[in-house]
Structures are given as structure tokens and as C-alpha cells.
Amino acid sequence: MPYIDGFVAAVPTANKQKFIDHANLGDPVFIELGATRVIECWGDDVPDGTVTDFRKTVQAKDDEAVVFSWIEWPDKPTRDAGMQKMMEDPRMSPENNPMPFDGKRLIYGGFVPALELGDASAPTTYVDGFIIAAPTAARAAFTDYATTFDAIFIGYGATRIIEGWGDDVPRGKQTDFFRAVQATDGETVAFSWVEWPDKATRDAGMQKMMEDPRMDPANPDNPPMPFDGKRMVYGGFAPVVELRA
């Protein structure tokens, strides 16, 4: 079964090129160690939220952008072995490739795909990212809900959707995925994204989604949302680095 490592970071806007250079130097190591794809996405349409949002997630400052990234692996054993080797690789050391952002506010974790729709080989130039806190006991309901509604995204032009269910999500001292969505002890963090061929298709698709009665939570024919939508974190991102095996 595929495995995902998800990341969210706050990067000074002035360091965008430094971040891209940093990723282009370090991300090939993940590919060498068995990853099938690495993608780094720069915040483009990241709204402020009342309860939670991507900026709060990583305590982003006014002069910082949010980065949403992930690594795809063929399975968890390959990921575990690759991550161990990565920690020992001198090319990943801060001395050889210093982080152009505050690593203490980087949040990360490992996720098992609960659902995958679409074409993994399709070109992607825009991404909508999501972080959700869902009741651990409601994983089946979460997957069923996603299956129903993600098909609508595909119908409106999305090329691929992954719904990642938290598996190896550590607690952090300053920030972490749990705090990002104010997850309780009985909840699991989901890391998900929707891929689009371009931003124009995304904007048009999102507008149609908003107008589609199948997406209306007030519609009694629609299944209830199996998580607290007020704590859902979401935003639009433009890929700046993408590597495939």
C-alpha cells in the first residue's frame, strides 16, 4: 500500500528561490532512497480562518508564505528505511543544505491513503490542500464521505485526489498536525489534497462545487459530514518543485 509523508512550513516570502534551491538539492535524495514522487507547493490562495487556517498551523508571520508538501512512497517499509537513511545522509545536514525557514515550526507526519482517485501520472499545476480532524472511530464514515464527494471534484476537472489517514504523526513542542486542527484524543488527523491541471480549471471547478446541491450540507439527501468542518484547514497552492522516480 502506498504511503505519504506530509509537511507544512512557513517560509519567508523573500526566501522563495532559496527554498526552491534547498528542495532541488534535498528532494532527489528521497527519490534515490525509494520515494516515487516529491512535490513542494507554495501558498497562493490561502484564506485566513476564524478557528483554524494554514497560517495559524505554522504560526506564519506577515512576511511568510505557507508551503504544503508531500512525499509519496510505494509502501511504509520503504518509507521507514528511506527516512532512516535520509537522516544519515550528509547531503541533508544543515551544514550542507541549510533550511531557509524555521524548522521548529515545520509540521510533518506519515499517512496511509484511505482513498485515492484519479490519474497519478497526470500533470499538476495547482493543488488544494486540506488538514482535517476526524473521529478515529469514524474512519469508515470518513472514507465513505470522501468517496461520495471526491467523485464530484473529479467530475469538475480535478485529476487526482488523495485522502491520507494519520498513521505516524508525532507530537511537536511548538507546532504539530494535532494542534493545526485542534484534534482531541479521540480524533485522527487526515492530510488530503486535490490536484488540478491548472488554476483556471480549479477556480471554475470550485465555483461549480459551491453551486452543486450535492455539496450542500443542508440538503437532507446528503450524508452528514463525519468531522468538524469549522476546524478544517484548507488552501490553494502552486507547485514549485516536483520530482518523480
Cβ(69)–Cβ(6) below 8 Å: yes
Q: Which residues of the chain have pLDDT under 70?
A: none
pLDDT tens-place string over residues 74-86: 999 999 999 999 8
Question: What pLDDT, on a 0 to 100 scale, did the predictor assign at position 147?
Answer: 93
Identify the pLDDT of residue 210: 87
- Which of 18-55 are b and which e, b meaning 16 or more Cβ less than 10 Å from the residue's Cβ? ebbebbeebbebbbebbbbbbbbbbbeebeebeebbbb
- Residues 107-154 pLDDT 10s: 999 999 999 999 999 999 999 999 999 999 999 999 999 998 999 999
Q: Which domain holds residue 130?
A: 3-244
Give the domain CATH number at 67: 3.30.70.100
The pLDDT of residue 224 is 85
Indicate the number of domains in the chain. 1
Query: In angstroms, how far is CA 208 from the centroid of its own chain?
Result: 23
d(CA 72, CA 61): 29
Predicted local distance difference test score (pLDDT) of residue 202:
98
